[in-house]
Structures are given as C-alpha cells and as structure tokens.
C-alpha cells in the first residue's frame, strides 16, 4: 500500500502544511483538511479515481476541503458514486456544506453514499479490511486501521488505539505538541510526540509517522523527534506530498 501525505498540519494550514489528509493507493482518502485538495492535484492524484473518504472526526481542520473536493469531482464530470465514511453527523455535515455553498443541483452527476459508523465497527471497503476504534478527543474521534496502515485522527494517548494498531506496518499518530505541554494537550484531547512514540512502541508497529504538526511546533521538528526517539526508533515527521 502506498501512502501519500496530502496534509501534515494540525488546527490551521500554514505556508508549509495543509491540514490533515492522506491517501492510500491514490484511491482511499483519509480526512480532507483545508489545503489538501490542491495538494491532491499537486501529487498527481486524479479526483475521479478516489473511491472513498474516511473522516476521523468532524473538526474543520479534518474536513474543510470536502467542498473543494466535491466541486472538483463535479466539475470533472464524475459519474461514479463516492462513498463517505465517518462518525455520526457526517451526512448532515456534507449536505450542509453543499447547501451553504449553493451547489447547483445539476452540477453533481454522481451519487454520494454515506456510512456513519460507531468506533469499534469493522467492515470491508474497496476490498480492504477496515477496523476502527475510539480515539480520545473532545468530540467523537474514529481511529482507522485500513489494511496495514493505522491512523489516529486527533487523540490523547489511547489504549484502544494501541489495540487497533498492534502489528501495523505504519502508524500515523497525531503529535500536536512537545512533552512539556502534555497536561494542556490532555485537556484538549491531543498527544505529544513522546506519547505518540510510546503508543507506537506498545503497538509494536514497524514505523511511526508523526503528523498533525501544529503551527506551535512546526519549527521545532528536532525537539519533536528528540523527545520521541527514546521511546521508539523508526520515526518520521510527516511533510506534505511525501510518499511512504
């Protein structure tokens, strides 16, 4: 499975980073944070080939580009159905966005299928086993394991994510701050890079990708890595348009 990072940032986009978005094999999209649609085009991904979108949770930094994505697909005359998987409220969110954008009814010539799940649900999508587990965030967060790739969404350290990710080739774990901010991060349902590495170690994954790099730490990559490395060895910090 090939993973392309379409957005490595967290909370707000910056000059260097779009917000949370990843794509597997150019067809399985995970989150659609602001700036990610343009990165999809830059990465050479054809929006017409994208089959399904998995949303971790309904904070804007993980879905604000749903509008550009659907308008882009419509403009390109998509006719294939498009599936959107996410927590309760996903269908209403997407319909509201399209409605507030005054999307002309004749513009979209494809059907959207919504699958609202509860964390813990298991199913098959695009021929791939998908497992889910609850993250530990201020609103409901769904962590996904899609094949051998696991993704946390936004979460404080979570035992259920350890169980979900155990044995994954790749764990994409959010790292919103440094160890000295852990008490604050816990309050807002986020993790430090050190805590992400502890989860990766407990889950015995092959590789950890630290992502959701917020503006507060975007110029502190060395500190993020140095605090994580004692806990787990095989770590990379996500950058936009990197392929793994």
Residues forming contacts to Zn ion in the complex (CB under 5 A) are 10, 61, 154
Query: Between 52 and 213, whose beta carbon lies closer to Zn ion?
Result: 213
Distance CA 50, CA 67 (A): 15
> Any idea which residue has 């497992």 for tokens?
131
Phi/psi of residue 144, each to 5°? -115, 145
Query: Between 7 and 68, whose beta carbon lies closer to Zn ion?
Result: 7
Q: How far is the CB of 87 from Zn ion (least distance, A)?
A: 14
DSSP string, 64-81: TTHHHHHHHHHHTT--S-
Q: How far is the CB of 208 from Zn ion (least distance, A)?
A: 18
DSSP 3-state assignment of 7? strand
Do 177 and 214 touch, CB atoms closer than 8 A? yes
Query: Between 61 and 231, whose beta carbon lies closer to Zn ion?
Result: 61
Q: How far is the CB of 12 from Zn ion (least distance, A)?
A: 9
Query: Between 73 and 142, whose beta carbon lies closer to Zn ion?
Result: 142
Do 114 and 94 touch, CB atoms closer than 8 A? yes
Q: How far is the CB of 109 from Zn ion (least distance, A)?
A: 32
């Amino acid at each position: 499975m090939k993973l392309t990072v379409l957005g490595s940032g967290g909370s707000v986009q910056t000059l260097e980073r779009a917000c949370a978005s990843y794509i597997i094999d150019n067809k399985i999209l995970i989150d659609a944070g602001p700036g990610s649609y343009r990165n999809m085009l830059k990465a050479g991904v054809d929006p017409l080939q994208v089959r399904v979108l998995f949303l971790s949770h309904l904070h804007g930094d993980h879905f604000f580009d749903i509008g550009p994505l659907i308008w882009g697909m419509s403009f390109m005359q998509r006719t294939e159905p498009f599936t959107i998987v996410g927590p309760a409220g996903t269908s209403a969110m997407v319909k509201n966005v399209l409605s507030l954008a005054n999307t002309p009814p004749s513009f979209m010539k494809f059907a959207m299928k919504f699958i609202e799940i509860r964390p813990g649900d298991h199913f098959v999508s695009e021929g791939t086993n998908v497992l889910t587990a609850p993250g530990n965030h201020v609103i409901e967060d769904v962590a996904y394991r899609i094949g051998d790739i696991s993704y946390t969404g936004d979460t404080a350290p979570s035992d259920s994510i350890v169980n979900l990710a155990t044995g994954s080739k790749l764990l994409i774990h959010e790292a919103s701050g440094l160890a000295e901010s852990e008490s604050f991060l816990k309050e807002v349902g986020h993790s430090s890079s050190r805590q992400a590495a502890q989860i990766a170690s407990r889950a015995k994954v092959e590789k950890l990708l630290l992502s959701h790099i917020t503006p507060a730490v975007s110029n502190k990559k060395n500190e993020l890595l140095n605090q994580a490395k004692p806990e787990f060895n095989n770590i990379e910090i996500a950058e936009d348009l990197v392929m793994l």
